[in-house]
Amino acid sequence: MSEVFFRAAEDIGPENTQIDQIIDIFPKISPVKQGDIVAIKIHPGELGNTTYMRPVIVKTVTDLVKEAGGIPFITDTTVLYSGKRFNAADLLCTAATNGFTHASMGAPIICADGLLGDDSVTVEIGGETLERITVASAIANADSMIMISHCKGHPASGFGGAVKNLGMGCLDKAGKTAVHEVARPEIDIDKCVGCKKCLKYCPWGAITVDREKASVDKELCRGELSCLGSCAYQAIIPPEDAPVRMQERLGEAAMGPVKLLPEKIGYINWIFDLTPGCDCFNFSAPAFSADVGITASRDPVAIDMASLDLINEKMRNTKRGCVNDVWGIDPVIHLQYAQKLGAGSMDYELIRR
């Protein structure tokens, strides 16, 4: 059973700010040793998103890493979709716009998978669907890591926390493709009107429109599915089993960074601004739950299980259903697969204060 430390949103006040809570909780989960080069893995938010992790939280962790004798850098990876984090140049510009710069953080911001998202280390993970996975090299080569995850909903996994940050956010483009490739969509020819709006949403050129009907080239498609929202006619259809099959791969892929940095990762989940969509969306919809607080652990599966239970408790208390209702997806599936490969345990002891 793994320990998960919890500081509640309700307890926040002038003598107990979020900063105080982070300072209090950090030593309980920090793996940082004197002289460690420490990756601080965050999601700096897509351009237009306004509910990503507050920079001051990351700055606080950066200062704590320095106090512990570590050499911190702030990091994230490039994405598969057409947006403002597709390559390292765009990613760092977006991070700066959203408040994450060397000057504001007191540590360099580094794109972990290189300029074009292909700089990685291959790890054998021995999963049922993924034998190996490619982890972004700046994360793979760090001595230790603090992963700060903004908890929120997600259209593919139902929920995004630490396991998703490991099994997607720490991978290069090839790794992300391996997780997504079970989600290549089909076109419903009867619904497609040939408007071509979907074309600009696929950075891989996988969609073409011929004789007023779209089609998807399965060789070029990465299964990232951001094209779905581009079609006003709901003509782009994901495979029915995509949420389960993607969660299986997501859970297995989480083992990659865990295997590379055994006992060297501390996790902080920031459970505020619980938007239905992830921070890769270029907008922020209203939250589906009230704020919950901060959890921290050395176990990525336990911290996500505890965070989900806490959100569900909050939603039940306010008669707002549960996380499964947000996308009609059971997010526990990806935690089960992560546990199965040994990334962590769903059994936890919640230590409140």
Catalog residues that contact ligand SF4 under the rule CB under 6 A.
Answer: 187, 192-198, 209, 214, 230-231, 233, 235-236
Residues 107/152, Cβ–Cβ less than 8 Å: no
Given the complex with ligand SF4, which of 116 and 195 has the nearer CB atom?
Answer: 195
Residues 170/112, Cβ–Cβ less than 8 Å: yes
Beta carbon of residue 236, minimum distance to ligand SF4 (angstroms, whole number): 5
Beta carbon of residue 157, minimum distance to ligand SF4 (angstroms, whole number): 24
Beta carbon of residue 237, minimum distance to ligand SF4 (angstroms, whole number): 10
DSSP symbols for 89-135: HHHHHHHHHTT--HHHHTS-EEETTTTTT--EEEEE---SS-SEEEE
Given the complex with ligand SF4, which of 86 and 201 has the nearer CB atom?
Answer: 201
User: What would the two tokens of residue 24 be?
Assistant: 């209090």
Beta carbon of residue 79, minimum distance to ligand SF4 (angstroms, whole number): 21
Given the complex with ligand SF4, which of 190 and 240 has the nearer CB atom?
Answer: 190
Beta carbon of residue 159, minimum distance to ligand SF4 (angstroms, whole number): 28
Of 101, 118, 117, 103, the C-alpha closest to 44 is 101
DSSP, collapsed to helix, strand or coil, labels residue 197 as helix
CA distances (Å), 96 to each of 25, 132, 277, in order? 27, 33, 22
Given the complex with ligand SF4, which of 148 and 236 has the nearer CB atom?
Answer: 236
Residues 74/109, Cβ–Cβ less than 8 Å: yes
Given the complex with ligand SF4, which of 191 and 353 has the nearer CB atom?
Answer: 191
